[in-house]
Structure 1
């Protein structure tokens, strides 16, 4: 059967909607790499999972990743900032009960002493915040997130975003 023609917008849109409904969906998470004037990295301690994390969170339906992290920073930390560039995209394969996921890290810039010192959790999803030296951050993060942070730090230094595959350099990377 031939698909309808775009010349018939009602039939064409119904055809596209049917295709859209059968396409896979991706979960999307977006975090920010935020530093203080001493170069320490901001970590947050979620209440709903063990360990420390970068600030940010899950995108809502049809929400762009950069808007998701801006929203999450405002909701969880009362922090409003303009994001810099994209640092990392990490494709995470299915694991446990979870389907695959795309994780983004954006440059959240550097906070001055006053703003950094005033950061506190603003909702029930976080129990604590801390600026920690990069080496200490690596010890506090889960392995996949630790590798993602390392890639984000490299991207800051090189000015080139990195694409990762489950926290590691993507296959075929030279």
Structure 2
């Protein structure tokens, strides 16, 4: 309250620079989330493209971690380009998953996008261009379920459901 009994306006109403400083200070203490983006790609037989990363024991969908201040959409495009030399126009967002902390990682927001169906020529020419990808393969959903880690298959299965039903799903460990 002002000395004359009037309610004072908050400082930021009169001083935009002070408001920005207040926001910046608050931003320093906000949680930071890891963000990753994956892409569901099919061939004309309906098989799913999986990559075999050289740094982990299971196959995965193409894609990876977002860089600082990079949108999930841009991360998906960049990762597919880096891993496979493939430039895409992404379709719809199929799935967003919040994954809880898992040693040694903090929690994660995972976005899965529809990468569409590749022509037979593009599918046949596809190969790893990044040393982080040892191999690629086209798999039926049943085969993919055997190649993917259990939680990755659960996410992939739900993303395939979303694609088939033209919807988007949100996943958490309890859903």
Greater C-alpha Rg: 2
- Alignment partner for residue 130 of structure 1, among 137, 144, 147? 137
**Aligned Cα root-mean-square deviation (Å):** 1.3
If the length of structure 2 is used for normalisation, what is the TM-score?
Answer: 0.92
Query: Which of 84, 91, 98 is equivalent to 1:84?
Result: 91
Query: Superposed, which structure 2 residues align to 1:1-174 within 5 Å?
Result: 4-166=11-173, 169=175
Number of residue-to-residue matches in the alignment: 167
**SS state of the match for residue 5, structure 1?**
helix
> 2:155 is paired with a residue of what secondary structure?
helix
The Cα of 1:33 is off from its aligned counterpart by 0.3
Following TM superposition, where does structure 1 have runs of at least 4 consecutive aligned residues deviating by more than 2 angstroms?
none
Gaps spanning 5+ residues in structure 1: where?
170-174
Q: Distance in 1 between matches of 2:10 and 2:47?
A: 56
Structure 2: how far apart are the matches of 1:163 and 1:12? 34
What SS does the aligned partner of 2:76 have?
A: helix
